[in-house]
Amino acid sequence: MPEGQTRGGLFDGVFARGGGVTGDTAWLQALLDAEAGLARALERGGLAPAGSGAEVTNAAKASEFDIAELGELSALTGNPVPGLARALARRVGGQAGRVVHRGATSQDIMDTAVMLLARRAIDWVLTDLGTAADATARLADEYRKSLMIGRTLLQQAVPVTFGLVAAGWLNGLDEARSGLAVVREGRLAVQFGGAAGTLASLGADGPRIAALLAEELGLGAPALPWHTQRLRMIDVATALARATSALGKIARDVTLLSQSEIGEIAEGAGPQGPRGAPRRGGSSAMPNKHNPVASIAILGCTRQVPGLLATVLASAEQEEQRAAGAWHAEWQPLAQLFTLARSAASWGAELLPGLTPDTARMTANLAATEGLPLAEHVTSVLAGVLGGPEAHDLVAEAGERAVSSGLPLRDVLLGVPELEDRLAQAGITAAQIEAALEPESYLGATQIFIDAALTAHEESKDG
d(CA 35, CA 99): 10
d(CA 457, CA 137): 8
Which residues fall within 8 angstroms of residue 447, CB to CB, at 6 or more apart?
144
Of 442, 443, 370, 40, the C-alpha closest to 213 is 40
Question: At what angle are helices 231-257 and 293-302 packed, to 10 degrees?
Answer: 150
Are 437 and 407 in contact by the 8 Å Cβ rule? The answer is: no
Are 374 and 434 in contact by the 8 Å Cβ rule? The answer is: no
Q: Which residues are catalytic, by number?
A: 283, 322
Are 427 and 420 in contact by the 8 Å Cβ rule? The answer is: no
For 8: left if phi > 0, alpha if psi spans -120 to 50, otherwise beta; the answer is: beta
d(CA 254, CA 296): 9
Q: What's the chain look like in SS3? A: CCCCCCCCCCCHHHHCCCCCCCCHHHHHHHHHHHHHHHHHHHHHCCCCCCCHHHHHHHHCCHHHCCHHHHHHHHHHHCCCHHHHHHHHHHHHCHHHHCCCCCCCCHHHHHHHHHHHHHHHHHHHHHHHHHHHHHHHHHHHHHCCCCEEEEEECCEEEEEEEHHHHHHHHHHHHHHHHHHHHHHHHHCCECCCCCCCCCCHHHHHHHHHHHHHHHHHHCCECCCCCCCCCCHHHHHHHHHHHHHHHHHHHHHHHHHHHCCCCCCCEECCCCCCCCCCCCCCCCCCCCCCCCCCHHHHHHHHHHCCHHHHHHHHHHCCCCCCCCCCCHHHHHHHHHHHHHHHHHHHHHHHHHHHHHCEECHHHHHHHHHCCCCHHHHHHHHHHHHHHHCHHHHHHHHHHHHHHHHHHCCCHHHHHHHCHHHHHHHHHCCCCHHHHHHHCCHHHHCCCHHHHHHHHHHHHHHHHHC
